[in-house]
Amino acid sequence: MFRWLVGAFAFAISLGLTAPLARAADPVEVNIGYIHHAGTRETLSLVMQPAENDGIAGARLAIEDNNTTGKFLNQHFNLDEVRLKAGDDAVKAAVTLASHDGFIIADLGADELLKVSDALRDNGTLLLNVGGLDDRLREEDCRANVIHVAPTRSMLADALAQYLVWKQWKRWLLVVGSHDKDKLFADALRRSATRFGAKIVQERTFEDTGGARRTDSGVTLIQRQMPVFTQQAPAYDVLVAADESEVFASYLPYRTWDPRPVAGSAGLMPTSWDAAHDQWGAVQLQNRFVKLNSRRMTALDMQAWTAARMIGEAASRTNSGDPKRLADFIKGPDFSVAAFKGQPLTLRDWNLQLRQPILLADGRMVVSVSPQEGFLHQVSELDTLGVDRPETKCKLH
Amino acid sequence: MWRYCLLSGLAASLAAAAPAHAYVAYVSNEKGNTVSVIDTDSWTVTHTIKVGQRPRGIEFTRDGKFVMVAVGDDDTIQMIDTKTHEIADTLPSGPDPELFTQDTSGKILYVANENDNTVTIIDIAKRARLGDIQVGVEPEGMTVSPDDKILINTSETTNMAHFIDTQKHEIVANVLVDSRPRFAQFKPDGSELWVSSEIGGTVSIIDPVKHAVTGKIEFAIPGLRREAIQPVGIGITRDGKTAFIALGPANRIAVVDTATRKVEKYLLVGQRVWHMAFTPDEKYLLTTNGVSNDVSVIDVASQKVIKTIQVGELPWGITITPQ
């Protein structure tokens, strides 16, 4: 008994001495799954066409970064990819991943993500949502096993609105696409206008009547259509387009009847990341990404990078690879992650949404970064973006 | 009238009693691609030197003959001849050099190369590369222990201070600190290593023998968000008693009593204060203020900002003539 006590004491001492050395005695393996759909979406601009590995390319870079740090801590990170083909069952695939991965980075539709999170509810796997912008996933449909790294539509809309209001472009002509996600973005924009004192002078709907996004004589026709579509509007400062479906917004700049700037889904666009972002050490990340993937880094790449880095950060801070311990740390008050946005990113504890500055980019340059100066908040200025604690409908349990 | 004469006479004798020690400060202007040369007697910019792209880390060679400046976007370190103010030579750093440090003899230069997770070792006299050491992601802060035995490198995304044996060129210990460690500085007696964490908002004090964090300095400024307090440059007086810490976009320098590890005062300087350098007599401390494009002069004894000097675009690093 005495010997045991002495042994335990000596062990405690050696632990106390070695822990600050940031050395782990036993190797730690951290397995991370990544689930997304095969194929890419169509965009109006060829330049914006996402690559096949959009998103997961960012996660791969973060795994490299985590492993560089891991060398010093005896930690190793692995990434398992599942690429769903048409007809594949996301739940089945996620359950298989969860059998050996404590974390799953998910780029799925909102309903799919909810089904997956409910299926994994009791097995301790933490889901990191990198693709879903839907506010409802953080509000009435929030789940305790899903962390949201992607910003919400309301965060994106607020980031844009703050800048437009600061610029004194307060009269908006809102043009909305005819698909559901366009309407959701328009809802977010209306909410932002009310919050920050902009006025929507008129709303128009751009019906998707089908047809190819690319034709050999496209420009001639568009040049006639867009001025006509935007004529006879009441006096406005900026045209705000809600077109996540990529049907019309990119056709608007330079073609409006009145000479007005375009924002929203074209022109000045709110985003979590842009290939042109170079502040706060971001060039280093951009360079590493290009070196690894031979292309520029998109918002989805960055969201996936951040998700995998959050897991790596938790592993190095806790000196552990235990998924539950890491998940608790990520959800706890001491967690923050650096992601080249000029300030630490933390989680909103009421709905597990990652707080983050939002970039406003025009496709070539980053024009500004929100929150804008002067939009104050009693807790964090980042909480001027999106649904705040007093308004939340989320009940985590 | 008499009194006036007496007073002015007194002033004249005071000035004579303290002969002006004119030093020269070199400031790297990150966006301007220039180096501003400041005369510390007249507190004016006497020369502006065109250098390579994105000059940041800047230091005098120990003999005072050259000023080395890391021009990150040109992947090299340029050597400015301090007599002619012309670029006389370059040093073979790795890609994207940002900060560097030299040993006490001034023979060996250690460079942090942000793009490929390495520290490059250079023989300054031979202008030759001696080797590389693999470190964590985005190496940045660099300093050498007063006895030259240990090189410290901080890595910004790995969030560690790496302790490197300067003889064996091997990492001997890694100490985790808060997010984005940017700058490292030993106390002059080598008893403590101070590391600033820009995003974590703290300065970690590390015992260099036990390789353990023994304390953390936190900052609180009324009316400022916590996120706006981003510690970067650190300057410690030769007696080891007082530390000055640049707080980035908080636009302030924190004055810390190193014995109690408490912040005694915040000095308001220009916007986004990056780095600093003492005059060799330690009467003045000069800070570079990135966003306001100027340099603040702090009177060290009275702990007051006495002067602001306009320099080039986005001043970043600063070095002052060795004694």
Distance between A70 CA and the closest CA of chain B, angstroms: 9
Per-residue pLDDT at B19 = 47
- Domain presence at residue A393: no
A97 and A169 in a common domain: no
User: Mean pLDDT across the stretch B153-177?
Assistant: 96
A111 and A158 in a common domain: no
**Could you please report the per-residue DSSP string of A81-146?**
EEEEPTT--HHHHHHHHHTT-SEEEE---HHHHHHHHHHTTTTTPEEEESS---GGGTTTT--TTE
Banded model confidence at residue B323, pLDDT cuts 50, 70, 90: low
A325 Rama sector, left if φ>0, alpha if ψ -120 to 50, beta otherwise? alpha
Per-residue pLDDT at B223 = 85
Element of type H or E holding A227: helix A218-229
B232 in reach of chain A (CB within 8 A): no
Per-residue pLDDT at A215 = 67
Distance between B249 CA and the closest CA of chain A, angstroms: 10
- Domain presence at residue A370: no
Share of chain A above pLDDT 90, in %: 86
What secondary structure, in 3-state letters, does B194-232 show? Answer: EEEECCCCEEEEEECCCCEEEEEEECCCCCCCHHHCCCC
Please give the residue that has the higher pLDDT: either B9 or A108.
Answer: A108
Element of type H or E holding A331: helix A323-331
Comparing C-alpha atoms, which of A258, A200, A187 is closest to residue A226?
A258
A296 and A194 in a common domain: no
Q: Is A209 helix (H, G, I), strand (E, B) or coil?
A: coil
According to DSSP, residue B62 is labeled T
Write out pLDDT tens, residues B46-94. Answer: 999 999 999 999 999 999 999 999 999 999 999 999 999 999 999 988 8
- HSE at residue B182, side-chain half, CA atoms within 13 A, is 27
A287 and A173 in a common domain: no
CB contact under 8 A, A317 and B225: no
Which residues in chain A are contacts of B174 at CB distance < 8 A?
Answer: 21-23, 72-73
A327 and A349 in a common domain: yes
Distance between B107 CA and the closest CA of chain A, angstroms: 29
Identify the domain boundary among A249, A271, A293: A271
According to DSSP, residue A2 is labeled H
Domain that holds residue A46: 26-151+274-356
- Domain presence at residue A256: yes
Evaluate whether B233 touches B245 at the Cβ level (below 8 Å): yes
Banded model confidence at residue B322, pLDDT cuts 50, 70, 90: confident
Comparing C-alpha atoms, which of A321, A303, A286 is closest to residue A32?
A321
Per-residue pLDDT at A10 = 41
A287 in reach of chain B (CB within 8 A): yes
Judged against a pLDDT cut of 60, whether residue B136 lies above it is answered with yes
| Longest CA pairwise span in chain B (Å) | 72
CA distance readout (Å), B302 to B21, B40, B54? 19, 18, 35
CB contact under 8 A, A20 and B212: yes
Distance between B290 CA and the closest CA of chain A, angstroms: 13
Strands B262-268, B252-257: parallel, antiparallel or unpaired by DSSP?
Answer: antiparallel
Identify the domain boundary among A271, A288, A307: A271
Judged against a pLDDT cut of 90, whether residue B251 lies above it is answered with yes
Write out pLDDT tens, residues A362-373. Answer: 999 999 999 999
Give me chain B's average pLDDT, please.
Answer: 92
Per-residue pLDDT at A3 = 45
pTM of the predicted protein model:
0.88
Which residues in chain A are contacts of B136 at CB distance < 8 A?
Answer: 68-69, 72
Q: Is A299 helix (H, G, I), strand (E, B) or coil?
A: helix
Evaluate whether A266 touches A252 at the Cβ level (below 8 Å): yes
Share of chain B above pLDDT 70, in %: 93
Element of type H or E holding A302: helix A299-318
For chain B, the C-alpha Rg in angstroms (whole number) is 19
Which residues in chain A are contacts of B114 at CB distance < 8 A?
Answer: 281, 284
Give me chain A's average pLDDT, please.
Answer: 92
A256 and A121 in a common domain: no
Judged against a pLDDT cut of 50, whether residue A7 lies above it is answered with no
Q: Which candidate from A17, A23, A281 shows the least CB-CB separation from B138?
A: A281
A14 in reach of chain B (CB within 8 A): no
Please give the residue that has the higher pLDDT: either A26 or A191.
Answer: A191
Banded model confidence at residue A397, pLDDT cuts 50, 70, 90: low
A351 and A299 in a common domain: yes
- Domain presence at residue A163: yes
User: Mean pLDDT across the stretch A277-294?
Assistant: 95
A278 in reach of chain B (CB within 8 A): no
Per-residue pLDDT at B115 = 77
A145 and A240 in a common domain: no
- Domain presence at residue A188: yes
Judged against a pLDDT cut of 90, whether residue B9 lies above it is answered with no
Could you give the CA distance from residue A268 to residue A251 in angstroms, rounded to a whole number? 13
Evaluate whether B62 touches B322 at the Cβ level (below 8 Å): yes
**Number of domains making up chain A:** 2
Distance between A342 CA and the closest CA of chain B, angstroms: 7
A93 and A68 in a common domain: yes
Phi, psi values for residue A115, rounded to 5°: -65, -45
Judged against a pLDDT cut of 90, whether residue A41 lies above it is answered with no
CATH number of domain containing A88? 3.40.50.2300
Banded model confidence at residue B20, pLDDT cuts 50, 70, 90: low
Share of chain A above pLDDT 70, in %: 92
ipTM over 0.85? The verdict is no
CB contact under 8 A, B96 and A380: no
Per-residue pLDDT at A16 = 38
CB contact under 8 A, A316 and B114: no
Distance between A321 CA and the closest CA of chain B, angstroms: 17
A138 and A50 in a common domain: yes
> For residue B266, which amino acid is it?
Y
Which residues in chain A are contacts of B115 at CB distance < 8 A?
Answer: 284, 287-288
**Burial grade of B295 (CB within 10 A; 0-12, 13-18, 19 or more):** buried
User: Mean pLDDT across the stretch A49-64?
Assistant: 97
Which residues in chain A are contacts of B117 at CB distance < 8 A?
Answer: 68
Strand order in the sheet with A347-348: A75-84, A28-37, A103-106, A126-129, A146-148, A353-354, A347-348
Write out pLDDT tens, residues B266-308. Answer: 999 999 999 999 999 999 999 999 999 999 999 999 999 999 9
Judged against a pLDDT cut of 70, whether residue A8 lies above it is answered with no
Close Cβ partners of A11 (under 8 Å, ≥ 6 residues apart) = none
Could you give the CA distance from residue B134 to residue B122 in angstroms, rounded to a whole number? 15
Secondary-structure percent of chain A, ordered helix, strand, coil, rounded to 5: 40, 20, 40
Q: Which residues of A276-314 are buried (b: 16+ CB within 10 A; e: fewer)?
A: bbeebbbbbbbbbbeeebeeebbbbbbbbbbbbbbbbbb
- Domain presence at residue A2: no
Banded model confidence at residue A217, pLDDT cuts 50, 70, 90: low
A337 in reach of chain B (CB within 8 A): yes
Judged against a pLDDT cut of 80, whether residue A12 lies above it is answered with no
Could you give the CA distance from residue B31 to residue B55 in angstroms, rounded to a whole number? 8
Q: Is B266 helix (H, G, I), strand (E, B) or coil?
A: strand
According to DSSP, residue A361 is labeled E
CB contact under 8 A, B174 and A72: yes
CB contact under 8 A, A69 and B96: no
Judged against a pLDDT cut of 80, whether residue A166 lies above it is answered with yes
Banded model confidence at residue A43, pLDDT cuts 50, 70, 90: very high
Evaluate whether B287 touches B273 at the Cβ level (below 8 Å): yes
B156 in reach of chain A (CB within 8 A): yes
Banded model confidence at residue A262, pLDDT cuts 50, 70, 90: very high
Per-residue pLDDT at A253 = 97
Alpha helices in chain B (DSSP H): 2-17
Please give the residue that has the higher pLDDT: either A396 or A179.
Answer: A179
- Domain presence at residue A380: no
B114 in reach of chain A (CB within 8 A): yes
B90 in reach of chain A (CB within 8 A): no
Distance between B211 CA and the closest CA of chain A, angstroms: 6
CB contact under 8 A, B199 and A287: no
Query: What is the token pair recorded at A240?
Result: 């705000």
Judged against a pLDDT cut of 50, whether residue A6 lies above it is answered with no
A144 and A278 in a common domain: yes
Chain B residue with the nearest C-alpha to that of A382: B227
- Domain presence at residue A317: yes
A130 and A40 in a common domain: yes
Identify the domain boundary among A321, A340, A356: A356
B98 in reach of chain A (CB within 8 A): no
CA distance readout (Å), B75 to A113, A178, B55, B156, B182? 45, 51, 10, 19, 20
Q: The dihedral of CA A329, A334, A338, A341: what is its sign?
A: positive
